[in-house]
């Protein structure tokens, strides 16, 4: 006969309470596992940002940058990315190279990351503006690098503002399916904003190329150049569609001035892309843009719609990341 103070398996029968206890234990284990996984991912994210923003003159490893992008998709939020990159760049203590790399990483995540990478960015607008207005001498690089940092931050602040005003576009300025169509007045306003953004990025593009040409051994600038190439091409592509919409809808707008500036910016961008090709910089990526030699006719009757993309791309797990 079993002792009353001991558990007797033969007398134990499963019932509702037993199932509830078992379910509760399983749920607790799952919660603990999820918490542990989230903590591990957050640690990996923090480490990836740190490794991608080192103060050396080398380009960050692709796996570090890619992990930051994929983290936002896997967790469907960019909250921790933004908080971590701001904290780490603040701790850079004025090192121009580290801050520049942080800006390039933020740019890449805004372009390719989860939609929250753009919707949450306005919370950090002051961070971009603060860097763009910082006139103090920065350590770790020359005056030219410090100037590029301020310019880049100003460009990204303008990108953040554009996405906050027009939420219907992805990180490469392609319209997301299912978003409301803009009115004629909104299209005209967007056309002006795009041209202002193009002017700002184009100036930075030119100065960035000059700096890269002066020292091809420094690879830390290359990732930002690719982001800027994709950004300016996206701006010009969207400007084409928007101007066509404005012409189609009509209205009391100075369309001639818009068209003249649009054509000037098209030729300016093509010249910058040609300079990249001359220096064998991102040749494959530039050729894939199929950028026309002459500006498209925004008054033509066959008016293509915006280039539309699904609201979310196919999500997939981040690549295996060993933290190195």
Helix (H/G/I), strand (E/B), else coil: 183: coil
User: Residue range 38-66: average pLDDT?
Assistant: 94
Average pLDDT of the chain to the nearest whole number: 85
When the candidates are 2.40.50, 1.10.287, 1.20.58, 1.10.10, the CATH number that belongs to 166-310 is: 1.20.58
User: Residue range 146-168: average pLDDT?
Assistant: 96
Percent of the chain with pLDDT over 70: 78
For residues 222 and 59, the answer to whether their CB atoms sit within 8 Å is yes
* pTM given for the model: 0.83
Q: What is the pLDDT of residue 10?
A: 45
Strands 175-176 and 308-309: parallel
CATH number of 34-130: 1.25.40.90
Question: Residue 38 corresponds to which tokens in the numbers above?
Answer: 């989230």
**Domain boundaries of the chain, sorted by first residue:** 34-130, 166-310
Of 90, 74, 85, residue with least CA distance to 51: 85
Helix (H/G/I), strand (E/B), else coil: 239: helix
| Ramachandran quadrant class, 290 (left: phi over 0; alpha: psi -120 to 50; beta: rest) | left
Q: 34-130 and 166-310: same fold?
A: no
**Strands (DSSP E) found in the chain:** 175-176, 308-309
Structure-token match 């068209």, residue found: 259
For residues 154 and 110, the answer to whether their CB atoms sit within 8 Å is no
């Amino acid at each position: 006969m079993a002792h009353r103070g001991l558990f007797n398996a033969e007398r134990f029968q499963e019932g509702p309470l037993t199932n509830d206890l078992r379910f509760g234990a399983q749920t607790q284990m799952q919660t603990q596992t999820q918490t542990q996984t989230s903590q591990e991912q957050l640690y990996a994210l923090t480490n990836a940002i740190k490794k991608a923003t080192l103060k050396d003159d080398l380009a960050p490893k692709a796996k570090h940058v890619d992990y930051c992008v994929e983290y936002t998709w896997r967790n469907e939020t960019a909250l921790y990315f933004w908080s971590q990159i701001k904290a780490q760049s603040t701790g850079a203590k004025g090192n121009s190279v580290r801050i520049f790399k942080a800006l390039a990483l933020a740019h890449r995540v805004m372009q390719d990351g989860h939609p929250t990478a753009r919707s949450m960015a306005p919370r950090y607008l002051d961070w971009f503006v603060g860097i763009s207005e910082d006139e103090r001498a920065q350590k770790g690089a020359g005056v030219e690098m410090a100037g590029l940092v301020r310019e880049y931050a100003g460009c990204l602040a303008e990108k953040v503002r554009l996405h906050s005003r027009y939420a219907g576009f992805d990180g490469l300025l392609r319209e997301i399916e299912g978003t409301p169509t803009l009115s004629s007045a909104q299209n005209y306003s967007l056309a002006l904003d795009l041209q202002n953004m193009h002017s700002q990025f184009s100036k930075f593009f030119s100065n960035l190329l000059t700096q890269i040409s002066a020292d091809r051994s420094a690879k830390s600038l290359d990732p930002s150049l690719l982001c800027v190439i994709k950004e300016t091409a996206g701006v010009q592509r969207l400007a084409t569609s928007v101007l066509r919409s404005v012409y189609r809808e009509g209205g009391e707008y100075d369309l001639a001035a818009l068209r003249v500036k649009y054509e000037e910016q098209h030729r300016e961008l093509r010249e910058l892309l040609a300079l990249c090709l001359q220096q064998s910089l991102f040749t494959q990526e530039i050729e894939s843009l199929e950028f026309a030699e002459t500006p498209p006719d925004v008054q033509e009757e066959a008016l293509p719609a915006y280039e539309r993309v699904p609201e979310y791309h196919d999500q997939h797990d981040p690549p295996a990341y060993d933290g190195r």
